[in-house]
Amino acid sequence: MNEAGFSWKMFAGISVFMAVIGTVYWFASYEPAGTVMLGLAAALAGLCAVYLRVELGRADTSEGHDEEQYLPHSSLWPFGIGVGALLAVNGAIVGFAFAIPGVVLLMFAVVGFVGQSRRRA
């Protein structure tokens, strides 16, 4: 079995496992927050499984074609985007004055990431 075929099956298994655990958790505790988180984890793993399965099927049909896929260069800008989003959302919860540095960092990182992507040869 190739690596791509194993990946989607692994995520599908994780999805089923999390759904079963979420069901058991609900009937054992009747606690909605943990049940929702386990359900969302199952949904996210299922989404990954479906995506990988679709991509595997797409790769099987285009065996004779040498399509060049776009893969971005290694970059620190996504880390800046994540930190900026975290600070902006956290600042929105605590107080909008605390969100300003996060919004500034987020805008700076997005502009940097887009600029780096456009300079790609």
Provide the 3-class DSSP secondary structure of residue 29: helix
Q: Is residue 25 part of a domain?
A: yes
Based on the fold, state whether residues 50 and 16 are members of the same structural domain. Answer: yes
Q: 72 lies in a domain?
A: no
Whole-number pLDDT of residue 86: 95
Contact 112, 80 (CB under 8 A): yes
Q: Which of 45, 38, 54, 72 is nearest to 4 (CA)?
A: 54
pLDDT at site 38 = 96
Q: Residue 56 has what pLDDT?
A: 84
Residues of the chain with pLDDT under 50: none
User: Do residue 9 and residue 56 come from a single domain?
Assistant: yes
Same domain, 54 and 28: yes
Indicate if 53 and 91 belong to the same structural domain: no
